[in-house]
Amino acid sequence: MIPSVSARPDPYTDGMTQKEQRERLGRNDLDLEDALIDEAANTVTEGAKRLNRKWPELIVTGLFGGIDVGLGILAMVLVKQATGSTILAGMAFGIGLLALKLAHSELFTEEFLLPINAVIAGQANWIQVLRLWLTTLVTNLVGGAVFAWLIVIALPDYHKTIADMALGYINQSSLIVMLALSLLAGATITLSTRMQQGTQNDVVKAIVCMITGLLVIGVSMLHGAINAIVIFAAMMTGADISILDFLQWFAIVIPFNMLGGLLIITLPRIVRTRRVLWAVRRGRISLEELEEQSA
């Protein structure tokens, strides 16, 4: 009887514990896959940088985030009116997401995985996280409103298209649909940020931005910071949207954007890299040593 392949002793792994096999397969001292070491090092380092910005840099970065997304909104409106296609408009919106990356600006729901990893690793605190979230959200809205005002003044022939898109965001068929679209938007933008954090290739980043725009706009997801720019522009054109309508919409969308980014994307990744994060927090390995092992 011929023995099965699985029954044959492996000269490399026979007699080794699972931990020893993990260490043999990686180049680090934490018996984890190298990809997880890389993820932890990159997210903690970048998150700590964002959380420790001084007020002027933080405010200006958030303002530019709203302006950069406004560029994507402009491209989206132009393509939507020219083609009538929401899918093509979504791909055009990806220009705004690409501008965020290349110009090193900030969008509200980008700020979940990276800073929270930094806090868990002991490189910052929760007050800094709240400061980052609130400042980024407010400055995104202010920068976006300024850009929306310019769009409305410069493009009077596009007012109807802008109003129709904004009313589509405000008027949802049911609360359940609204909540689901908000969760999806938060998860999609947060995942897009993590994907771009994992590569230094600008071409790959551009592709991720185009796909993210296609999904967020093409599926008509509800994203508080992005959709708000369109809604602001529509209100400036005289669309039938009151401030109360916007505030009620915003109060629902933003919390579920956060839940989508935090529960669907951030939490599982924290569980996956928790041992690395705790090792840094407890001083078993320094952030500099972690970066060296990732290099």
Q: Which residue has the higher pLDDT, 3 or 122?
A: 122
What mean pLDDT comes out for the span 263-274? 93
Q: Specify the pLDDT at position 123.
A: 93
Q: Specify the pLDDT at position 39.
A: 85
Q: Specify the pLDDT at position 199.
A: 85
Q: Specify the pLDDT at position 287.
A: 79
- Considering only CA atoms, which of 82, 135, 78 is closest in space to residue 107? 135
- Global confidence as pTM: 0.87
Domains and CATH numbers, the chain: 34-278 (1.20.1080.10)
Inform me whether the pLDDT recorded for 295 exceeds 50: yes
48 Cβ partners below 8 Å, 6+ apart? 118, 121, 123, 124, 287
| CB-CB neighbours of 78 under 10 Å | 16
Inform me whether the pLDDT recorded for 2 exceeds 50: no
pLDDT band at 291 (very low <50, low <70, confident <90, very high): confident
Q: Over the chain, what is the mean pLDDT?
A: 89
Give the chain's radius of gyration (CA, Å): 22
Inform me whether the pLDDT recorded for 222 exceeds 80: yes
pLDDT band at 31 (very low <50, low <70, confident <90, very high): low
Query: pLDDT by residue (tens digit) across 178-216?
Result: 999 999 999 999 999 889 877 889 899 999 999 999 999
Lowest mean pLDDT among 21-35, 62-76, 91-105, 225-239: 21-35
Lowest mean pLDDT among 81-90, 116-125, 146-155, 276-285: 276-285
Q: Specify the pLDDT at position 5.
A: 40
Q: Report which residue type is found at 271.
A: V
Provide the b/e sequence for 25-34 (b: ≥16 CB within 10 Å): ebebebbbee
Torsion of CA 61, 66, 68, 72, to 10 degrees: 160
Q: Specify the pLDDT at position 21.
A: 54
pLDDT band at 6 (very low <50, low <70, confident <90, very high): very low
Query: Do 189 and 109 form a contact (C-beta atoms < 8 A)?
Result: yes
Q: Specify the pLDDT at position 12.
A: 45
Query: pLDDT by residue (tens digit) across 127-180?
Result: 999 999 999 999 999 999 999 999 999 999 999 999 999 999 999 999 999 999
Inform me whether the pLDDT recorded for 34 exceeds 90: no
